Amino acid sequence: MTLTDSEMEYIRKMLKRDPNELEEGMLDVMFSEHCSYKSSRPILDLFPTEGKNIIMGPGDDAGIVAITNKLALAVGIESHNHPSAIEPYGGAGTGIGGILRDIISMGAMPIALLDSLRFGPVEDQKSRYLFEHVVKGISDYGNRVGVPTVGGEVEFDESFRTNPLVNVMCAGLVEKDKIVKGIAPNVGDVFLLMGGLTGRDGIHGVTFASEELTSDSEIEDRPAVQIGDPFTKKKVLEASLEILEKIDVAGVKDLGGGGLTCCISELVEKCDNGALIDLNSILLREKGMTPYEIMLSESQERMVFVINPKYVNEAFAICDKYELPRAIIGTVTDTKLMVVEDTYNKDENGNNDIIASMPAVLLADPPSLNREIKAPENKKESIKVENPPIEESILKILSSPNIATKKWVYKQYDHEVQIRTVVKPGDDAAVLKVDDENAVVLSCDCNSIHTKLSPYNGGAGSVAEAIRNVVSMGAEPYAVVDCLNFGNPGNPGILWQFKQCIQGMSDLAEKFETPVISGNVSFYNETEGIKINPSPTVGVVGVANLNNVRTMDFKNEGDKIVIIGSTYDEIDGSEYHRTLHDLEQGEAPKIRIDEEISSSKAILKLLNNDHGEFNSENNKITAIHDCSAGGIAISLAEMSISSNIGAEIDLTNIPISENVAAENNDKDCINDNDLLFSESHGRYIITVKPEQLDKLLNDINVPCACIGEVKGNVLKLTGKETDIKIKVSDLKNAYTGVIEEFMA
Amino acid sequence: MIFNVEVKISLKKGMLNPESSTIELALDLLGYKVKNTDTIDIITFQMEENNESKVLEEVDDMCQRLLCNPVIHDYEIVITN
Amino acid sequence: MKIGVIRFPGSNCDRDVYHTIELAGGEAEYIWWNKDDFSYLDAVVIPGGFSYGDYLRAGAIASITPVVEGIKSLVKEEKPVLGICNGAQILGEIGLVPGIFTVNENPKFNCEWVDLKVTNNSTPFTSNFKKNEIIKMPVAHAEGRYFVEDIDTLKSQDQIVLQFEGKIPNGSLEAITGVCDESGLVCAVMPHPERASEEILGSSDGLNFFKGIVNSI
């Protein structure tokens, strides 16, 4: 039990009595961090949640953004960190199952999945085990349901050794007039429970997610893990779509954390109604389940439809067609109470035994906690490092598991099903066509080192990076979803990190006009004092005209290479520091919101003026890639590797911040190493047909410069102290086969 | 009478079994060197019939038509009551 | 003209195949797994996915459903039947084509674009290609390795339809990834032609499979 004394006092006040055992169990779950968001809600209020393209913000199972005249996209993101630490295959699979259900609950057809994964170092056997089985879990589940996993990221870092992170994002298409919500507005409507049977899986899964893992967790916590069943999920998906098509449904909600208790109480509380649940009508998978187990079961693949009783037979017929268990389990009432009755047992008056009766609002809306927030003590001194030869650093970073190609992962994901995938995994973001003109572009990013060093800049920076990835594919960013992974919120320093991070994310999202439409918070990601680097995973949805889509690979020798955006002397928090020096120190690169916006607007303006076509030889802008982890060096290397063509770069042309230059009275104050590996925000690298260069440089109003040319089979970098050549084949060898070798 | 049936399905000798080779390699990573690794599927169920030979006949039909693919599988039926 | 697209519990490429048939100029209709009256159909396609969760073996349970009678009746009437990926596995389990598509040599699911050779271009599905033409399509499977005992008969009767060109991603015998029956009217292919039917998705080579069916009717 995790209810605190003050929470119990509040409950007694609201009930005007003590809760019975079943009620206490239900409240324990609803008051858990995972279900109630009590520690985070006050701070999450900082997020901008409304905007011109936003149909639905946070509050339901997923957010919804308009993408064309007719179509909308439901988007959500979820974490399944604690279950994946104990049972990675099932934990990851049920994570996918959960987010899919959230999207189906809005009436949408899921069209894409993305995964953001974090593990301990790949050299560690346990981390490899978790990595292998998480990927297999996502693969087996997503592939079976027929939803392509089209993008994502993987990070390996010491801080995730005992607490892996598994965040999954899903997007679904829905016609604007077919959207459904998680509500029970009509008294007299009935609840149809369909899908999987109710068993003992995951009892207390949410309270498990709201506690730290201890080293005995693996054995003690096994019953708390849910078992996924993608075959049933696929049938549930098809049946749900058919029910929504044929019946005028009042509301839909899926069952996830907190089982029936959470689902029903939230459905009715939204409309100020109550519910009467008949415990014995719930179809069970196992004999002898107690009321407690039934109301708190987290058996997967279950959905609740709120429908008018006249539609029951039709709904049953559809479920029967798909061979799915189904039952009417209760009615919407006007009492504002969540009541559970046992129809097999009568009380002294011969009435059904009421075994639980509580105000729905008590369950669905527990009081927030205002926990203490305190900035941590000042940081340690920074260590000065010796820079190895740049060629060595480039090859070493390319071959580090954090940067090297993740092909080993995405080959296991069916990324082609539903025949929309225009740009396959491996580029900046996934591009999925929704009709002959438009594409939805999806990215998923996070920089946990930046966030640890400077939560404000790291949070804002993670949003900026995800937006840059979407803009790099030619899309205008429309909305953000977030999955915030942090340590124990009872620790004032952690909560300070959380608030700073959210402030940064909010400031950026507000200025970019990309509201946060859905999200998830996962606290308690620490084990016996070892905390994860705070990880704000950000998903961005963008919309592009297919004609504006550009991939990152160099296209033609002779194309000029242009960098947009200034580079600052900000080597701290870089992949370079992590890989070459095992360092995490200093201040993360700063977010400069106005520059970020003007860079992204410049890219989109150039594309609109290009009047090009996807993959056409006539395009003036031929390739686009953003700069993030690994800085300019790695961005250029990636463009080279994906095309097998080299480049000649003059580092002295890279625009550096005028402020930095002025401060130091010297234009050449950033050494070449830091220039190449600094992870300043707001930068893109594009290639353009040579005859278009001058016009382009004139048209752009942000710092930009031509830094070289696509050429040959060597990456040549010349600067004030630098004159190096690396063969593209060497770049490629460093970048490929890395994960494969560890996982063989 | 109720009979307990156990059907053991294995790949024919000489057929590549990628699952068992992978298991053998993985055990090696743990420090154990094993050989002749094989994976066998066991399906168990109960059925009601008059006599054992009828059960054998029916289970054999199940194997031929669904439980196995005769191109690549061998099978063994064990019946008890 | 009606081309049936069969739906089993767990099929997931049915919508893609339906869309591509229409793109090729055909008229498609979904056929539920317990239907056996195929008398009005001119051809049938069994799409990819994970029918019955791939439980027991990929395609094993689907191969004993009522719809199989309908498929067999079409075969008797010499109408074309195409099985794609899980559909290919199902045709193998039914025994309408020789051999089996079983667990990949590297037992992981694998999704990638591959080069293929059209070894037999006299089936209705491959009639729009030149013999030995090299085409591009994606594969996406964990159980795609082709195996058959009597490879010689397969070769002598020209029943090999598609082979991997260059890299063999799953260990298939003689790089075989598409086979047909003796008549050439029943064809089982592991790669997904419906996923290679629009240039913007990577290639339109696959559209010819469906145009071939439409033209043959």
pLDDT for residue A7: 94
Which residues of A are annotated binding-site positions? 37, 78-82, 101-102, 226, 254, 298-300, 482, 519-520, 522
On the question of pLDDT at A540 being above 70, the answer is: yes
> Could you give phi then psi for residue B74, rounded to 5 degrees?
-115, 155
What residues does C28 pair with on adjacent strands?
C3
For chain A, percent of residues with pLDDT exceeding 70: 96
CA dist A410 and A425 (Å) reads 7
Q: How far, in Å, CA of A114 to CA of A573, rounded?
A: 25
CATH number of C100's domain: 3.40.50.880
For residue C190, name the pLDDT band (cuts at 50, 70, 90): very high
**Residue A427: strand pairing partners:** A425
The secondary structure of residue A60, as a DSSP letter, is: B
Q: How many CB atoms lie within 10 A of CB C97?
A: 26
Residue-wise pLDDT tens digits, A650-662: 999 999 986 655 5
Q: Which two tokens stand for residue B69?
A: 């693919």
CB contact under 8 A, B71 and C148: yes
Sequence letter at residue A261: T
Q: How confident is the model at residue C161 (pLDDT cuts 50, 70, 90)?
A: very high
| pLDDT on residue A350 | 84
Helix ranges (H only) for chain B are: 18-30, 52-62
| CA nearest to A416, candidates A396, A438, A433 | A433
CB distance C83 to C141 below 8 Å: no
- Domain harbouring A556, CATH code: 3.90.650.10
Give the per-residue pLDDT at A211: 64
**Which candidate in C93, C143, C165, C194 is catalytic?**
C194
pLDDT-derived band of residue A257, with 50, 70 and 90 as boundaries? confident
Residue A458 lies in a domain: no
**pLDDT tier for residue B16 given thresholds of 50, 70 and 90:** confident
List CB contacts of B32: < 8 A, sequence separation 6 or more: none
Any residues with CB less than 8 A from the CB of C134 and at least 6 apart, and which?
C115, C116, C117, C118, C165
Structural domain count, chain B? 1
For the complex shown, is ipTM > 0.95?
A: yes
What average pLDDT does this structure show over C34-51?
A: 95
Helix, strand, or coil here: A294? helix
CATH number of the CATH domain containing B10 = 3.30.1280.10
Neighbours of C167 (CB within 10 A): 9
Give the CA-trace dihedral at C12, C15, C18, C24, to 10 degrees: -100
| pLDDT band (50, 70, 90) for residue A129 | very high
Task: Answer whether residue C181 shows pLDDT above 70.
Answer: yes
A587, part of any domain: yes
**HEC profile for A92-133?**
HHHHHHHHHHHHHCCCCEEEEEEEEEEECCCCCHHHHHHHHH
Domain that holds residue B20: 2-80
Residue C127 has pLDDT above 60, yes or no: yes
Does residue A667 surpass a pLDDT of 60?
A: no
Which is it for the CA torsion C144, C149, C153, C156, positive or negative? positive
- Give the residue, A189 or B29, on which the prediction is more confident: A189
- C192 as an active site residue: the answer is yes
- Please report the pLDDT score of residue B21 as a whole number: 85
Q: Whole-angstrom Cα distance, residue A178 to residue C181? A: 46
Mean pLDDT of C15-34: 97
Catalytic residue among C85, C93, C143, C165: C85
Q: How far apart are CA A311 and CA A317, in angstroms?
A: 10
Count of domains for chain C: 1
Q: Is the confidence at residue C10, as pLDDT, over 70?
A: yes
* C contacts of A546 (beta carbons < 8 Å): 200
Pairing of the two strands A476-485 and A516-522:
parallel
- Distance (Å, rounded) from C-alpha A333 to C-alpha A339? 10
Residue A15 and residue A619: Cα distance in Å, rounded? 68
- Structure tokens belonging to residue A555: 């296209």
Q: Is the pLDDT of residue A220 over 60?
A: no
Q: What is the pLDDT of residue A2?
A: 82
pLDDT of A631 above 60? yes
Rg of chain A's alpha carbons, rounded to an integer? 26
**CB-CB neighbors (< 8 A) of C202 in chain A:** 424
Query: Is A731 inside a domain boundary?
Result: yes
Task: Say whether B69 and C93 touch across the interface (CB within 8 A).
Answer: yes
Q: How far apart are CA A362 and CA A17, in angstroms?
A: 14
Residues in Cβ contact with B2 at an 8 Å cutoff, skipping those fewer than 6 apart? B46, B47, B48, B81
A627 band by pLDDT with thresholds 50, 70 and 90: very high
In this predicted structure, the answer to whether residue A182 has a pLDDT above a threshold of 70 is yes
- Nearest one of C201, B69, C24 to A148, comparing CA atoms: C201
Residue A208 has pLDDT above 70, yes or no: no
The domain in which residue C8 lies consists of 2-216
Partners of C112 in beta bridges: C139
Residue A110 and residue A147: Cα distance in Å, rounded?
Answer: 6
B7 CB-contact burial (10 Å; exposed 0-12 / middle 13-18 / buried 19+): buried
Average pLDDT, chain B: 91
Helix (H, G, I), strand (E, B) or coil at C138: strand
The predicted model gives C152-165 an average pLDDT of 97
pLDDT band per the 50, 70, 90 thresholds, residue A664: low
Q: In total, how many domains does chain A have?
A: 1
Average pLDDT, chain C: 96
Q: Is the pLDDT of residue A215 over 60?
A: no
Identify the pLDDT of residue A348.
83
B62-75: pLDDT as tens digits: 999 999 988 889 99
Helix (H) or strand (E) segment spanning residue A195: strand A190-195
Exposed (0-12), middle (13-18) or buried (19+): which is A677, by Cβ within 10 Å? buried
Rounded to whole angstroms, the Cα distance separating C89 from C99 reads 9
pLDDT at A206 exceeding the cut of 70: no
CA distance A713 to A711: 7
Q: How far apart are CA A588 and CA A533, in angstroms?
A: 13
Is the pLDDT at A212 greater than 80, yes or no? no
Specify the pLDDT at position A662. 58
Distances (CA, A) of A317 to A120, A323, B79: 49, 10, 40
What's the pLDDT band for A213 if we cut at 50, 70, 90? low
The residue ranking higher by pLDDT, B65 or A638, is: A638
A406, two tokens: 């993740």
pLDDT of residue A209: 64
Which of the four pLDDT bands, split at 50, 70 and 90, describes residue A136?
A: very high
Q: What is the pLDDT at residue A473?
A: 98
- Within a domain: residue A702? yes
pLDDT at A744: 83
Residue B14 confidence (pLDDT) = 80
Query: What mean pLDDT value characterizes chain A?
Result: 94
Task: Check CB contact under 8 Å for A413 and C12.
Answer: no
Structure tokens at C44: 């049938």
Question: Which pLDDT belongs to residue A529?
Answer: 79
Residue A111 has pLDDT above 70, yes or no: yes
**Closest partner CB to C60 (pick from B16, B18, B66):** B66
* Angle CA A131–A134–A136, to nearest 5: 105
- pLDDT value at position A223? 58
Nearest CA in chain B to C102: B72
> Biggest alpha carbon distance in chain B?
51
Chains near A with 3+ CB pairs less than 8 A apart are C
Query: Is the pTM above the cut of 0.90?
Result: yes
**Which residue shows structure tokens 């997020």?**
A47
Residue A508 lies in a domain: no
Place of tokens 């954390």: A257
Q: What is the pLDDT of residues A300-347, one digit of tens each?
A: 899 999 999 999 999 999 999 999 999 999 999 999 999 999 988 888
Q: What is the Cα–Cα distance from A116 to B73, expressed in whole angstroms?
A: 40
Question: Residues A561, A647: contact at Cβ < 8 Å?
Answer: yes
Instruction: Residue A327: count other Cβ atoms within 10 Å of its Cβ.
Output: 17
Instruction: List the 47-66 stretch of B: residues with Cβ below 8 A of C.
Output: 65-66
Q: Which one, of C174, C160, C14, C165, lies nearest residue C97 by Cα?
A: C160
**Of the listed ranges A573-577, A698-702, C88-92, the one predicted with least confidence:** A698-702
Given a contact cutoff of 8 angstroms between Cβ atoms, the answer to whether A532 and A163 are in contact is yes
What sign for the dihedral angle of Cα A371, A504, A98, A214? negative
Q: Please name the residues between 515 and 574 in chain A that touch chain C, using a CB distance below 8 Å.
A: 546
Q: Residue A392: what pLDDT? A: 97
- Ramachandran quadrant class, C62 (left: phi over 0; alpha: psi -120 to 50; beta: rest): alpha
Residues of C engaging B, defined by a Cβ cutoff of 8 Å: 56-57, 60-61, 63-64, 93, 99-100, 102-107, 145, 147-149, 171
Q: How far is B56 from chain C (nearest CA, A)?
A: 20
In a domain, residue A435? The reply is no
Q: In this structure, are residues A195 and A301 in contact, taking their beta carbons and an 8 Å threshold?
A: yes
**Does the annotation count C85 as an active-site position?**
yes
Is the pLDDT score of A644 beyond 90?
yes
Is it the case that residue A219 has pLDDT exceeding 60? no
Question: Would you say B79 and B5 are in contact if contact means Cβ atoms under 8 Å apart?
Answer: yes
SS (H, E, C) A204-266: CHHHHHCCCCCCCHHHHCHHHCCCCCHHHHHHHHHHHHHHHHHCCCCEEEECCCCHHHHHHHH
Torsion angle of the four alpha carbons A96, A102, A108, A113, in this order, in degrees rounded to the nearest 10:
-30
Once rounded to an integer, what is the mean pLDDT over residues A386-402? Answer: 97
Residue bearing tokens 């790099």: A472
Question: What does DSSP assign to residue A149?
Answer: E
Check pLDDT > 70 for residue C120.
yes
Give domain status of residue A473, yes or no.
no
Do residues C140 and C110 make contact, with C-beta atoms less than 8 angstroms apart? Answer: yes
Question: Residue A544 forms beta bridges with which residues?
Answer: A439
Containing structural domain, residue A649: 550-744
Instruction: Kindly tell me if the per-residue pLDDT of B46 is higher than 80.
Output: yes
Q: Where are the alpha helices (DSSP H) in C86-159?
A: 86-94, 151-156
Q: Which helix (H) or strand (E) holds A599?
A: helix A593-610
- Measured in angstroms, the CA of A377 and the nearest CA of chain C are apart by 48
Annotated binding site of A for substrate: 79-82, 101, 226, 298-300, 522
Asked if residue A332 belongs to a domain, the reply is: no
Contact criterion met (CB below 8 Å) for A707 and A563: yes
**A234 contacts C200? CB cut-off 8 A:** no
Is any Cβ of chain C less than 8 angstroms from the Cβ of A744? Answer: no
As a whole number of angstroms, the distance between CA A715 and CA A649 comes to 8
